[in-house]
Amino acid sequence: MSWQMSSRQIPGQPWIYNSGGHTHLQAQCLNEEGGWQNSDIDLDSCIGDEDDELVWGQRDFTAQTQSVGFAFEQSPPQPILRATFYDGNDAPKNTAERISNQDGHLVFY
């Protein structure tokens, strides 16, 4: 299930946050029973940096960045993670490409 189509922002919380030098995505996700549950995924466990590009299947991109942001961009709205590297280069990554909601849990596939 597409995570952004079956999730909502946790009230009073940001979509992404930094903990221990890792960037996390958090949301309330619908489970198969129709209930909402909080879920969290460490994006540094599935996204890395290669030549100032965000790359799926690698690790620890946050350590190479000076800032990380998140917003719904484009039309229709897409969940875009945006990293700015220390050299000033900016790299977007559409989290819908490889993050899904599986029974109320954000999962990398």
Residue 1 lies in a domain: no
In a domain, 2, yes or no: no
User: Do the domain assignments include residue 75?
Assistant: yes
**Mean pLDDT of all residues in the chain?**
96
Taking Cα atoms as reference points, which of 44, 47, 53 lies closest to residue 90?
Answer: 53
How many domains, the chain? 1
- Specify the pLDDT at position 1: 62
For residue range 64-78, what is the model confidence (pLDDT) as tens digits? 999 999 999 989 999
**CA pair distance 65, 105, nearest whole angstrom:** 27
**Domain harbouring 36, CATH code:** 2.30.60.10
Residue 55: per-residue pLDDT: 98
What's the mean pLDDT in 32-57?
97
Domain limits at 33? 7-108
Res 14 pLDDT > 70: yes
Average pLDDT over residues 9-31: 98
Residues 82 and 92 sit within 8 Å (Cβ to Cβ): yes
Residue 31 has pLDDT above 80, yes or no: yes
Residue 41 lies in a domain: yes
Model confidence at 2, pLDDT cuts 50, 70, 90, reads confident
Residue 70 contacts residue 53 (beta carbons within 8 Å): no
Contacts of 86 (CB under 8 A, 6+ apart): 64, 65, 66
Other Cβ atoms less than 10 A from the Cβ of 49: the count is 19
